[in-house]
Chain A
Amino acid sequence: MAKQTVELRTSPHIRKAPSVDEIMRNVVYALIPICLFAIYQFGISALALIIVVTGSCLLTEAFFCRMSGKPNTINDYSGAITGMLLALTLPPGFPLWMGVVAGFIAIGLGKTLFGGLGYNVLNPALIGRAFVQAAFPAAITTWTPAFAPGRFVEFIPSTLALPFTKPPSIESWLQGVAIDGFSGATPLALQKFENISTDTMSLFTGMTPGSVGEGSALLILICGSYLIIRNMMDWRIPAAMLLGVLLTSGAFFMIDAVKYPDPLFVLFSGGLMLGAIFMASDMVASPVTPRGVLIYGLFIGFLTVIIRLFGGQAEGVMYAILLGNAASPLIEAVTQPRIYGAQKKVKSEQ
C-alpha cells in the first residue's frame, strides 16, 4: 500500500540537466590538462602560482560568505574556476604575493560584491587580471622562457618576492638558464613592436613564451571541445569570437600584408584561444539570446584585433572581453527573440 504521505509538486515532475556544480566541476576538469601543460612548460613557478591564486580566490570567497552571513559557496567550483583561469593569464614568474592580491580582487571586487555566482556583470578572473595589470605593470609584462633547464627544482627568482616588495630582477637568472636568443618578449610583442613573426605551428603547439596558460592553442581547443561535447558550454560564443578575429584581422591583412600580421598568427597567439574558449564563454556575463550570442562573440573578436593592432599594448583579449561583458545586457536587450505568433499571419478572408 501507499505510504500515508503524498508528495505535492508542480509540473514538470521530471528534469534532466547537469546541475550548476556539475557544469562547474567539468570546467575544472577541462582546465586541469592546461594547467599540467603549463607546469611542464614553466616548472614549479607555474605550479606555485596556480595553487596560490586558486587558494586566494577560494579563501576570499569563504571569507566574504562568512562576513555576509551567507552559506559558504566554495563547493560549487565556480571560485576554483576563477582562480585557475586567473593564474593561467599571469606570467609564469609573477610574484606569488601579487597573485594573492589578484585573486582577492577577482573574487572580492569581481564576484561577491555583485552578489556572488550568477550576479557578476564582468568576468571575475579578468577583473583580477585588469587590476594587477594596472597595479603592477612591470611584473605583468616580465616574461620568462618556456622549458628553462632546472625549472622543476628552481623557482623563477621573481616568484618568491616578499610581499609588498619589488620583485628582484631576473636578468642574471635569465643569463644563468642561458637560452639563446631569448628577448624577454612574447610572440605578440615581437610582432607588434619589432615586426618579427613567429611560426604559427609553434604557437599552435605551445612552444613559445607567454602567460602560464596561453601556451598551446591546440590543447585549449581540445579541452574546450570536451565541454562542448558534454553540452556544458555554448560553442557559439568561441566560434563567433574566433570568426570575428579572423574577419577583422583578415581585412587588415588584405589591406597591407607587410604592416599587419596574418590572421592565423593573430588567431593562435597570445591569450586569444584561452579567452575565447574559457572566458568569453562565461555564461554569467554573456547574453542568452541566440542572436545576442553571435553579436557578442563577433564584437569581442573585432575589439581584440583593434586593440592589438592600434592599442598601446600587445595583447587585447582581456579588455575586449571585459568590454563585451559590459555590453552584453545591451546586446541582449536589442536581440530578444521573435516569439511564436508575434506577427499576424492571417489568411486572407474571402
Chain B
Amino acid sequence: MQFLRRKTFAHGVHPPDNKENTNTKSVRRMAFAPELIIPLSQHFGAPAVPTVYEGQEVVRGEPIAKANGFISIPHHAPATGTIDRIELMQTARGPKTESIILKVTPGASQNVLYGSTREIADMTPQEIISAVQDSGIIGLGGAGFPTHVKLTVPKGHTVDTVLINGCECEPYLTTDHRVMLESVRDLIVGIRIILKSVGAERAIIGIEENKRDAIKAIRARLSPDEAITVRELKTKYPQGAEKILIKTILNREVPSGGYPSSAGVAVYNVSTSSQLGALLPYNQGLIERIVTITGPGVKKPGNYLIALGTPLRFVMEQVGYTGSANHLILGGPMMGTSVASLDVPVTKTVSAVLVLTEQEEAEQIPEKVYPCIKCGACVRACPIHLNPSQLTLLASKRRYGDMQEKFHLNDCFECGCCSYVCPSGIPLVQYFRIAKAVNRENRERIA
C-alpha cells in the first residue's frame, strides 16, 4: 500500500510555514510599470544577445534578445513599448548586468500580440526542445537553469520517470500552490510535453500535505489510465530540493557530482511545467510570472502576475509597505537573497518578495555568536548527511581544500538547515559559500 503512505526523507527541519496570508489569494495581474528593465542574464549560462536597437518599437511578446549558444535563452518584450536604451543595470545577484530598458507605451494592451498556434503532437522531441529554448523558459523555482537543457537527456542516460516538484517547501511561498489550483490544465499539458521530449513513461507530481486542496484539484483532472500521478509528501524542509525529492519519491540517489539523469530521473517545477503548457502551443515567450509578495512588512500581501522587468520599487508601491519594513528578500527565507536596492527588476527566477520588519529581524538575529559547542544539531539536520560542524571547524582554520576533499563540501546545496538549527548562531552556510568561492578561484588559477 505504498501509495497510501506519506513519504518523507531523513533529517531536515520544520520551519513555521507562514503561508496563510497568501495561499487562499487568487493570482492578480499587476499593472505595467512605466519602465521595464530586462537583464540579458537572468539565468544559468551565457547572457542573451540583444536583437533590438535603441528607439525600436516592440510589441508585447516580441523577441528582443536571442540565445547565445545552447546553454542560453532568448528574452521577449514583456509589454508593448519603445526600447529606451541598453546599459549596465543593477540586479539582485550583485554585479551590474547589461540590460534592455523598455519604455512601456501608456495604456498598452495586456493581450499578447505575438505568436501562432501549433500542434505539439506533430513535433519531434528535438523540435520541442528547440521550441522550449525559443520560449526563453528557465527553472522558475529559483535555480534559473534553462529548461531546454534539462529536457535534453545526456548521451548514455535514459530517463524513465519525470518528477514534477510541487513541494514549495520554503516558508511564505505560495506561487506554486496557486499554479496547481488555478492552472491545472496548463500544468498537465506541460507535463505531457516534458514526457514526450525526455521519452519517459510516467510522471509523478510530489506535493506536500499542507496543500491538500491542490492535490485534490489535480487528481480531479487526471484520468485513471494517465501516465501522471500525484504523490502526497510530508511537509518538511527542504523536501523540494531536487535530490531530496528524488530520494523521497523513488528512493534513488543522484550520485555525488552527477545529474538527476544519472539516476534515470528528471525534475521540473510545477510553475515551469505550467508555463510550458501555456506558452508552447502558442509559440510564445515567457514575459511574466507569478510572484508571492508577503511578509509582515507588506500591506496587501498576495500572489501577483507581474511583467518581467518590473522594478521592485514599483512592485512595492503597488502592494504598500508597513512602517518598519526594512529587509527585502527575493525568494523564500531559507534560501532567498537580500536585495540591496529597490531599483532591481523582477526577473524569471524571482518566485517571491518577502518583506520582514524590524521586530521580526530582531528575533532572527542572534544576539551573539558563541563558539561551536558540538551539539550535533546541524549533523542531525543536514539532508545530505554532511558534517557541518566539522566543515565549520575546518573553515575557521581556512582549510578549504580539506573541506572539499575529505568532507564533501560541494555536495552542500546551501539549504540553510544547519544555520537554522545552530544554537551558537554560527552562520555555517556563509562559511561554506566562502569556502566554495575560494576553492573555485584556486581551481581557476591552476587551470
Residues of A within 8 A of B (CB): 1-3, 5-23, 76, 115-119, 234, 283-290, 293, 332, 336-347, 349-350
| CB proximity of A222 to chain B, nearest CB, Å | 22
List of B residues within 8 angstroms of A76 by Cβ: 370
Q: State whether B263 touches A346 (Cβ < 8 A).
A: yes
Q: State whether B171 touches A14 (Cβ < 8 A).
A: yes
Interface residue stretch chosen among B200-208, B286-294, B427-435 = B427-435
For the complex, would chain B's binding face be called helix, strand, loop or mixed by DSSP majority? loop
Instruction: Name which residue of chain B comes closest to A5, CB basis.
Output: B326
Q: State whether A345 touches B252 (Cβ < 8 A).
A: yes
User: Besides the contacts A119-B371, A286-B374, what 12 more A-B pairs have beta carbons closer than 8 Å?
Assistant: A2-B325, A3-B324, A10-B430, A11-B331, A13-B334, A15-B366, A23-B423, A118-B372, A283-B373, A288-B387, A339-B384, A343-B253
Tell whether B67 is near chain A: CB-to-CB under 8 Å.
no
Q: State whether B370 touches A20 (Cβ < 8 A).
A: yes
A116 vs B371: C-alpha distance in the bound complex, in angstroms? 9
Q: State whether B252 touches A349 (Cβ < 8 A).
A: no
A21 vs B370: C-alpha distance in the bound complex, in angstroms? 9
List of B residues within 8 angstroms of A6 by Cβ: 326-328, 338-342
Interface residues of B in 313-352 (CB under 8 A from A): 316, 321, 324-329, 331, 333-342
Tell whether B57 is near chain A: CB-to-CB under 8 Å.
no
Q: State whether B420 touches A17 (Cβ < 8 A).
A: yes
Q: State whether A341 touches B333 (Cβ < 8 A).
A: no
Instruction: Name which residue of chain B comes closest to A7, CB basis.
Output: B327
A13 vs B326: C-alpha distance in the bound complex, in angstroms? 13
Q: Given A2-B316, A23-B423, A288-B374, verify A13-B379 contact (CB < 8 Å).
A: no
State which of B157, B297, B385, B433 has its C-beta within 8 Å of the C-beta of A339: B385
A2 vs B361: C-alpha distance in the bound complex, in angstroms? 15
Most B Cβ at <10 Å: residue of A15, A18, A342: A15
Q: Given A7-B327, A346-B263, A350-B158, verify A1-B321 contact (CB < 8 Å).
A: yes
State which of B367, B379, B422 has its C-beta within 8 Å of the C-beta of A288: B379
List of A residues within 8 angstroms of B383 by Cβ: 340
Identify the 8 closest CB pairs spanning chains A and B, nearest first. A12-B416, A118-B371, A288-B376, A7-B327, A20-B370, A341-B256, A283-B375, A13-B333
Q: State whether A349 touches B156 (Cβ < 8 A).
A: yes
State which of B157, B333, B339, B340 has its C-beta within 8 Å of the C-beta of A12: B333
Q: State whether B263 touches A347 (Cβ < 8 A).
A: yes
Q: Given A1-B321, A339-B384, verify A14-B334 contact (CB < 8 Å).
A: yes
A89 vs B160: C-alpha distance in the bound complex, in angstroms? 63
List of A residues within 8 angstroms of B66 by Cβ: none
Tell whether B127 is near chain A: CB-to-CB under 8 Å.
no
State which of B253, B316, B429 has its C-beta within 8 Å of the C-beta of A345: B253
State which of B331, B387, B423, B429 has its C-beta within 8 Å of the C-beta of A337: B387
A47 vs B128: C-alpha distance in the bound complex, in angstroms? 81
Most A Cβ at <10 Å: residue of B171, B375, B411, B419: B375
Tell whether B283 is near chain A: CB-to-CB under 8 Å.
no
